[in-house]
Structure 1
Amino acid sequence: MRLSIVTPLDIIVDETIHSLRAEDASGSFGILPYHAPFLTALAISIVSWRSETVERFCAVRGGALTVTGGNIAIATREAVVGDDLAKLDTEVLAQFQADADAERVEHVETLQLQMNVIRRMVSQLSTGADAGKFR
């Protein structure tokens, strides 16, 4: 099987592998040769794969995984390859999770600002409608 992990800016991994383990919202799963076509959304997690004699790891910040015809493709926003699973698990995944949390906070704050603007517009429209300004 051929594995490729890509981000918007770079090709992180492009190599031949024997098996792969990943995680989506339903939990952990594995992919072996001759796997059926498959598509899933990955969680913030660590993807591991085995080649000839080595097991390798890559922390991914979500993304999409597809399996088609012996090829496994992962498209993600961020990916960090490493051989030390403990370091990837503690440092990189914690940073990915913190970044995702910060994005959620920013999104909520943006929505609150938009709602405040809409409320002001509606209140101005309501007071202007009584005075006959919109004729």
Structure 2
Amino acid sequence: MSGALHLTVTTPMALLVEEPAALSVRAEDESGSFGILPGHTDFLTTLPASVLRWRDAGGALHFCALRSGLLTVRDGNRVAVTCREGILGDDLGALSEDVAQLRSEEADSDRRARVEQMRLHAQAVRQLMRYLRPGQTDAFAHPPQIAESGDGAAR
């Protein structure tokens, strides 16, 4: 095992980073921020929209804004990040703004997906009610009637 990490960052369309001698990597998952040094145990985690940081062999700090991805560590020195989209840059402030925008887009997408899921669920319940009560056009609009006797008592 060498004293460096071999870091790769890929998207479906490109290899963004191929760093054969990174000194350290810093990332963020749903549980918070974490660091990886040479000799790290094998590891797998999902990454939300966040900024990946690493130091190269010369000690220079590099950044990559990620749109949701997957990070794996193998053999204590191989770090691979796969993501939908990545933006390389040296200005952490600008990349942080990009990440805030990506997180906002992901939140909007999640909200739209939940609304669609609720719509499909309601439609499935309506179909089930039509199947169970075929004589009624809308089971929720017309609840079952209780028969009353002539003296007003329910039967």
Establish whether residue 59 from structure 1 lines up as the match of residue 51 from structure 2: no
Establish whether residue 121 from structure 1 lines up as the match of residue 127 from structure 2: yes
The offset of 1:44, in angstroms, is: 2.2
Of residues 8, 12, 33 in structure 2, which corresponds to 1:8? Answer: 12
Structure 1 residue runs without a partner (length 5+): 131-135
Question: Which amino acid is the alignment partner of residue 2 of structure 1?
Answer: H
Counterpart CA distance in 2 for 1:50 and 1:123 is: 60
Q: How many residues get paired?
A: 129
Establish whether residue 43 from structure 1 lines up as the match of residue 48 from structure 2: yes
More helix, by proportion? 1
The offset of 1:82, in angstroms, is: 0.7
User: What residue in structure 2 maps to residue 133 of structure 1?
Assistant: none
Matches within 5 A, 1:43-122: 43-51=48-56, 52-69=58-75, 70-90=77-97, 92-122=98-128
Question: Which amino acid is the alignment partner of residue 14 of structure 2?
Answer: D
Percent sequence identity is: 35
Work out which of the two has the higher radius of gyration on C-alpha atoms and give 1 or 2.
Answer: 2
The offset of 1:66, in angstroms, is: 0.9
The offset of 1:46, in angstroms, is: 0.8
Question: What TM-score do you get using the length of structure 2 for normalisation?
Answer: 0.75
The offset of 1:129, in angstroms, is: 7.0
Partner SS, residue 36 of structure 1: coil
Q: Deviations over 1:20-63 (max 9, x none)?
A: 11112222111112222222222321110011142100111232
**CA root-mean-square deviation:** 1.7
Q: Which protein has greater RCO, CA pairs closer than 8 Å, 6+ apart?
A: 1
Partner SS, residue 128 of structure 1: coil
Partner SS, residue 20 of structure 1: strand
Counterpart CA distance in 1 for 2:12 and 2:25 is: 22
User: What residue in structure 1 maps to residue 150 of structure 2?
Assistant: none
Counterpart CA distance in 1 for 2:74 and 2:89 is: 26
Question: What TM-score do you get using the length of structure 1 for normalisation?
Answer: 0.85
Of residues 32, 55, 67 in structure 1, which corresponds to 2:37? Answer: 32
